[in-house]
Structure 1
């Protein structure tokens, strides 16, 4: 991993054709000396921490084919007078100078990546002068104003990522109908507004179309049916209304269809059965109604089907049993009724099935509670104990003329089998409890004040342990922000990476340390979870009270983009934090039933709440001092070896 600045003496390599310095920790500015590298073909400085002014003469690198300036910290706007190169302020200015004068100074440029920076201003109308451009990426910047309408001049363009900032609608797509090679439009999260124009259907070679995360309104245009090569169509997280046109279900090559989180109404057309290659279908959080069409069983390649949070009614189609490769099936929060097809409970590759909040009835035979969710179906019965469902009622005996002797024989046989089964059940329970006791799991879970949460609860609360919710990474695992469903409690979920040596022991130590300690300056534990994940792997996690102001480490050593309010702290505020930490340590050392030594106290383990009150956390390396150890000044790690009445999460 390279650090520091880009050396000026690179310019001595006059024959240099490629500079590939991406994915490092480079800082500072781009050296002006690079302008002497007249044979340079590729300049890749992406994924660093570069910023500042960019030497304007770099625009004279006429051999340049690839320019990657993405995922850095460049900013600035495009100058009004593109010829006044001496007034360029920063990389964005340079990048857009390239855009504006590209056809003259950079005639060979094909790949232009400016995404994930802080560029501002307008995207120049002269950008299409670079007629050989094949890939352009503007995504996730702060451009303003409308997108230029002359992109049709880019005859070789193949992929377009992002279109900049606000005040944009999709009218510029009309010009793209002349781009005969355009296959990928990635216009997600661009604050686009208005309706999707019907002219989009004229871009007939489209393979991937992403319009998600915008403010698009109106209906889905029927003209999209002209895009016969579409493999991915993502329109989620908009304000689209109307019905699902059957025209978009005629793409025989479609693999992914995502129309989540809109206001679509009507039924799911039976034409969905024509999508024989479809693997991912997301249509949740709409207002779709009617029955789930039986024709969907023709989608034999489906791996994910999410129709949750709609108004679907009727029975679950038996035809869904044809989905032998299904991994995730979510039909929750609808008005489905009737029995659960037994075949749904036996999919070989199923990782998760959610049928909660419907009106389903009858007996269930699910064997693994971590793979299934059936909450909110009041008419279900039976199943394993973890579902907490009532016992199914016995059917009234039929008057079939059965002889008394036969009834007696059947009763005796049934009683014997019942005794055998009961004995086996008791043996199994005894074995499980004995095994649980040997794992030395902590004892506080059944004290009545800790929540009993499942892996599925934590999976849902953290958005599937999404990177968007990742708030920290440590030696033995990662910490995610989550929102528990049952009471909307905001928690920090510490998930242990059990592949790391010592992670399981760290989990045990932290549980033991947190079992009996209570103090205003210690991080409050909400619950703990020791179970298996959807893939059958061991899973261990702790849930703590969420600290919105993060760690002291981030305040002492803020990142470049972070709000550095620390510098406005006065002496009293700083002393308050020091006193909070000292109070926590004084409690741990002198006022616990068994004294605790933290052994890993550092700024990253001091967390700050809404009132900037400090809380000490992370007891994974703690040691406990017994009375004997205290008297002899020798510390030792101790665990209670009794069989705790531990109830693992399910």
Structure 2
């Protein structure tokens, strides 16, 4: 009896599930609306294999339905779709979420989708949609739309204003990376009281920040960077107490930051590349949640307030390229245990590097270049076990040998830039210098150092870029240099090196191939204040031996270095003919053989170096037509800028 009862209940359960399961498919109107969208595509990413007339559209790729077989979701992101967006999608009366992002759709955005009575999330970002957005007339009932993302398209014209009057539910609006122009509509927040995230960045908006943005009482993220905004921050904006992320970089905003401390919930403050003046107010210490502060490339001045020490959550402090002055010891950095990035390049800080910085045990990137700091580096810097990027260029530091003995404790260093210091000292030759196995970029340029290229450099097996130019080094170039298998940028120009150009330089593996690992610097390396490089493989492959005392012939093996973009052998004492093998360097953009003792004929095959943009063989005893130089392309590439500007300094 028990066995029968159990079996009965099992059959009943199966029958109940069968009767409860949906038996109908999506409606003909929904199916036709989706097929109309498919018909507007010139490339459908294989959807036609699934989207077939007469089949249940709830089973089609990218389509989800509710239990009553109403289409609720169309998710077709990253499907390689090309074509237009059909307005017939607006006929999907139960559609809640439409995602067409990361495709190649073009044309206009049908306003039937924006004004839909069902859609709550609409994402068409990263396409090629263009034309102006049309203003919708004021509608009687509120729209349900909560998230609208039209970023990274080709929209132009003025951003509509009346469209948003009925968008009472909109909480996220992202229109970044388009070409909208004119003023930011002042009605945005009044029309959308639920707005929590607003991204207007990377457009062409102009004029002042409208005071109406101060009515966004619940907004947490406000981004309007990379526009043409002017004027001061409106006072009412400081009343938006819930704001957590304020990003307005790369505009023309001005004024002071006296009211900034009212943003007590702010986590990210980015006002970089504007025209703000004055000092950082003492009240900044009230911003207890502040994790990132970017005030770089402004006109701010004064000493750093000691109250910065109260912002204990700080992870990033970027104050570069201002007029800040005074001693850094005003700030107790030991109170900032989470600090990972400190960038103060191009200011007027004086005194010594404060000991409290070395208490920031999580520090990964430290740049204090182009200030007026002096003295010796403290042994305490060895406490920064996570330090990977260190730039101290253009200060008045002393005792380079001790500096290297101390820095070897920072075993995670990958980038070390210390040029324009240690003037007229001797290059460290102590073979006990080690601990730099992870170093990838080393710059000890413009120091007028005496001595030779030291043997301890041979231990830097991961070195990719070496800058030793503008010193007083003597002797020959060591043969072990070819064992640095990753070295692709070598500049030892403006020294007093002698002997023949070693064939070891012709065996450098990375100058024979275009392969460079795609890594990212912890901080961008600047060659000028407006030119920066974020990845090593953005730098050209360079061999600069100019302004030395090299003698003998140009090695014929030089033709092996087919990845070279720049070769500079100028101002030496080289003799003989221009090696025909140089004509094999088909990637060359810069070739400078000037001011040597070369003779013979300029090889005609140099005309086949189609990328050559800088060519100089003057002050030699050469023969041949100068028509070669006249036929050269005259253009400025990023690689050329890197070559030219690094001779000044890399910061």
> Would you say same fold, with TM above 0.5?
yes
Relative distance call for 1:10 and 1:302 in structure 2 (3 A) is farther
**Paired residues, what number?**
458
Q: Secondary structure at the match of 1:321?
A: helix
Q: For residue 132 of structure 1, what is the aligned residue in structure 2?
A: 169
Conserved 8 A contact 1:442-1:508: no
Which structure has more RCO (C-alpha within 8 Å, separation ≥ 6)?
1
Shift of 1:583: 5.5
- Superposed displacement of residue 242, structure 1: 1.2
* Residue 165 of structure 2 corresponds to residue 165 of structure 1: no
Match among 261, 264, 269 for residue 228 of structure 1: 264
Q: What's the CA shift for 1:275?
A: 1.0
CA distance in 2, matches of 1:428, 1:383: 11
Larger mean CA deviation between 356-365 and 238-247 belongs to 356-365
C-alpha separation between the residues in 1 aligned to 2:487 and 2:335? Answer: 50
Residue 324 (structure 1) aligned with residue 378 (structure 2): no
1:216 to 237, 253, 272: 253
Contact 1:18 1:43 in 2 (8 A): yes
Match of 1:64 among 119, 122, 141: 119
CA distance in 2, matches of 1:311, 1:510: 41
Unaligned runs of 5+ in 2: 1-40, 58-68, 430-441, 462-477, 491-499, 546-559, 568-578, 592-603, 611-630, 637-651
Aligned pair in 2 of structure 1 residues 581, 273: CA closer, same or farther (>3 Å)?
same
Q: Is the 8 A contact 1:3 1:24 kept in 2?
A: no
2:29 alignment counterpart: none
Between 1:41-50 and 1:207-216, the stretch displaced more is 41-50
Which residue pairs with 1:267 in the alignment? 303
Q: What residue number does 2:501 align with? A: 447
Match of 2:84 among 20, 29, 32: 29
Structure 2 residue aligned with 1:44: 99
> Secondary structure, in 3 states, of the residue corresponding to 1:76?
coil
Are the aligned partners of 2:184 and 2:205 in contact in 1 as well (CA < 8 Å)?
A: no
Distance 2:221 2:527 in 1: 31
Residue 304 of structure 1 deviates from its aligned partner by 0.6
- Offset at residue 333 of structure 1 (A): 0.3
2:575 aligned with 1:519: no
- Alignment deviations for residues 182-218 of structure 1 (CA, whole Å, 9 cap, x no partner): 1110111121111112222100000010011111112
1-structure distance, mates of 2:488, 2:233: 58
* Conservation of the 8 A alpha-carbon contact between 1:49 and 1:72: yes
Rounded to whole Å, the distance in 1 between the matches of 2:358 and 2:80 is: 51
Q: Residue 182 of structure 2 aligns to a residue in which SS?
A: coil
Which of 377, 398, 406 is the equivalent residue of 1:340? Answer: 377
Residue 361 of structure 1 and its aligned partner are, at CA, apart by 2.2
> How many Å separate the matches in 1 of 2:416 and 2:252?
34
Q: 1:426 to 1:76 in 2, by over 3 A?
A: closer
Task: Judge which range, 17-26 or 275-284, deviates more.
Answer: 17-26
* Matched ranges for 1:148-227 at <5 A: 148-150=185-187, 151-162=189-200, 164-170=203-209, 172=210, 174-220=211-257, 222-227=258-263
Equivalent-residue separation in structure 1 for 2:449 and 2:156 (angstroms): 64
The structure with more helix, counted as a fraction of residues: 1
| 2:175–2:199 Cα contact (<8 Å) kept | yes
Structure 2 residue 405 is the aligned partner of structure 1 residue 351:
no
Q: Which residue of 2 aligns with 1:373?
A: 417
The answer to whether structure 1 residue 279 and structure 2 residue 315 are counterparts is: yes
Pair 1:297–1:468, CA change in 2 (3 A) = closer
8 Å CA contact 1:62, 1:105 repeated in 2: no
* Counterpart contact for 2:113–2:119, Cα < 8 Å: no
TM-score (norm 2): 0.60
Contact 2:561 2:585 in 1 (8 A): no
Structure 1 residue 105: deviation in Å? 7.0
1:460 is matched with which residue? 525
What whole-Å deviation, never above 9, does each CA across 1:330-357 have from its counterpart, x for those lacking one?
Answer: 1110011122111124521110111110
Change (3 A) 1:106 1:377: same
Q: Normalising to structure 1: TM-score of the pair?
A: 0.60
Q: 1:355 to 1:55 in 2, by over 3 A?
A: closer
SS at match of 2:265: coil
Offset of residue 47 of structure 1 = 1.8
Gaps of 5+ in 1: 78-91, 393-424, 471-477, 488-506, 528-578, 586-607, 614-650
Quickly say closer, same or farther: Cα 1:448–1:271, change in 2 above 3 A: farther
Q: Is the 8 A contact 2:289 2:313 kept in 1?
A: yes
Instruction: Give the distance between the partners of 2:347 and 2:489, measured in 1 at CA.
Output: 40
Structure 1 position 370, deviation (Å)? 5.2
Q: CA RMSD in A?
A: 4.8
Q: Compute the displacement of 1:46 (Å).
A: 1.6
Maintained 8 Å contact 1:361/1:380:
no
Could you report, residue by residue, the CA deviation over 1:448-488 in whole angstroms, capped at 9, with x for unpaired residues?
99999999999726899x99989xxxxxxx9636699x99x
Given that 1:461 and 1:482 are in contact with CA atoms closer than 8 Å, whether structure 2 keeps it comes out as no
